[in-house]
Amino acid sequence: MEMAKNTSQNTAGDEEREIDSKIEELDLMLDYLQRRKEDLLSAKLNSAESRKHQSKEVRSSGRLSVAQQERLDALPWKDFGAGKVGQWTFVNDRSGSLTKELEPVRDVIDKLRQGEALSAGRYRYRVSENGKFLNRTPVEQANR
């Protein structure tokens, strides 16, 4: 009787491990698909932004502190896709809140969300139309 109980527990444990393994595999696939979707959205938004001829650009490099500029430079930037110049990073975390890395420059992000563009240092910054991405392009590329 005791042996049958142990076999039943082992089978249940094996099933649970198999389910956990499948869940982990699905999580990896979902993460990959989410990153791919974000890459495509970013490329699409960058393409649309590059076609715009008018900009509400505000030259405010003098208004950024050194600490704010360093904070922007230290973000986990990712290059746009092939043939695109510039980089992007997330504005919000998975819960929809401003990422912790951007908290110290919340005021800058708020201005960008209102549609302003900001040139500071070597880059021009914009928040994507959907508000999910912070994009930056080298100033010399942004002026073309």
Tens digit of pLDDT at every position of the chain (144 positions): 555 556 666 787 889 899 988 898 888 888 778 887 777 777 777 666 655 433 333 344 335 677 888 888 899 999 998 888 999 999 998 898 999 989 988 988 988 888 777 888 888 899 988 888 999 999 875 555
Beta bridge partners of 59: 119
Phi, psi of 8 (to 5 degrees): -65, -40
**Distance of CA 4 to CAs 10, 11, 105, Å?**
10, 11, 62
Helices (H), 86-130: 106-113
Torsion angle of C-alpha atoms 123, 126, 127, 130, degrees rounded to 10: -130
- The domain spans of the chain are 1-144
Chain segment 131-144, per-residue pLDDT in tens: 889 999 998 755 55
Distance of CA 36 to the CA centre of its chain: 12
- Say which DSSP state 99 is in: P
Rounded Cα distance between 132 and 26, Å, is: 24
Q: Where are the alpha helices (DSSP H) in 52-105?
A: 66-73
The confidence score (pLDDT) of residue 53 equals: 35
Q: Can you give the pLDDT at residue 91?
A: 93
Q: Provide Rg for the chain, Cα atoms.
A: 22
pLDDT at 77: 95
Per-residue pLDDT at 57:
38
Mean pLDDT of the chain: 78
Alpha-carbon distance of 47 to 82, in angstroms, equals: 12
Q: Is 77:89 a contact under the CB 8 Å cutoff?
A: yes
Give the model's pLDDT for residue 39. Answer: 75
pLDDT at 48 (0 to 100): 62
- Mind listing the pLDDT tens digit for each residue in 48-70? 665 543 333 334 433 567 788 88
- Chain centroid offset of residue 143 CA: 24
